[in-house]
A = this chain, B = another copy of it.
Amino acid sequence: MTLSEENYLKAIFNLQQETDKGVSTNAIAEFMDTKASSATDMIKRLSEKKLLIYKPYQGARLTDKGRMHAVKVIRKHRLWETFLVENLEFSWDEVHEVAEQLEHIDSDKLIKQLDKFLGYPKNDPHGDPIPDENGNIATIEKKILAELQKNDEGICVGVDDSSSAFLKYLDKLNISLGNNIKVIEKEAFDNSMSIEVDGNKLTISSLASKNIYIKKTK
């Protein structure tokens, strides 16, 4: 399996999460920041390798084999991100680029031992679940902060946007995973929110509140 094939598998896996329809050639091309003709070529290759099933105008769907492979890459990515933050003093906005490289290292023993070394972590530094060895991905009942009502309360368990800009912004606001967040006020005018983060009051925009996941406690 080449690096490029793995990246396409990952892309298709991610796009598939968002719908129950097949993933279109154009959608894949856009996600991969490439041209539709390139996507067509790769779809053909992955299809020949039985990693996905493709029907024109109905999109691509990963086979069990394809899904398993994609999840393994995601598992590696998230374990490496955890290592970088926990052991190499990376901050959560710096890990992605390096993990994109490390995720393609091929060694079962390596990933097994890394998992053990890290103490079998459940989530990566952005709160995303780390798939287990068998490809199972745990889900938790989380809500988008923007959907909470006044006086609702919960724990910050993840972010939807893992871009460096957004993560740095959260750092500045002192919002991080595990924080207790309470909705003080919702502003109907622009959908901004007054919230209390571990005791500190602050205001965040609608856009920001749509990218923060909360596990409700109240």
Contacts and interface: CB of A to CB of B under 8 A. Distances in A.
Copies of this chain in its oligomeric complex: 2
A19 interface: no
Interface in A59-116: 84, 87-90, 94, 97-98, 101-102, 105-107, 109-110, 113-114, 116
Interface residues of A, number: 19
Contact of A88 (B89, B98, B106, B110): B110
A109 B87 contact: no
A117 interface: yes
Contacts of A105: 98, 101-102, 105
A114 B98 CA distance: 13
Contacts of A101: 105-107
Interface string A123-157: 00000000000000000000000000000000000
B113 A107 contact: no
A94 B109 contact: yes
3 A-B pairs with the lowest CB-CB distances in the bound complex, closest first:
A88-B113, A98-B107, A101-B105
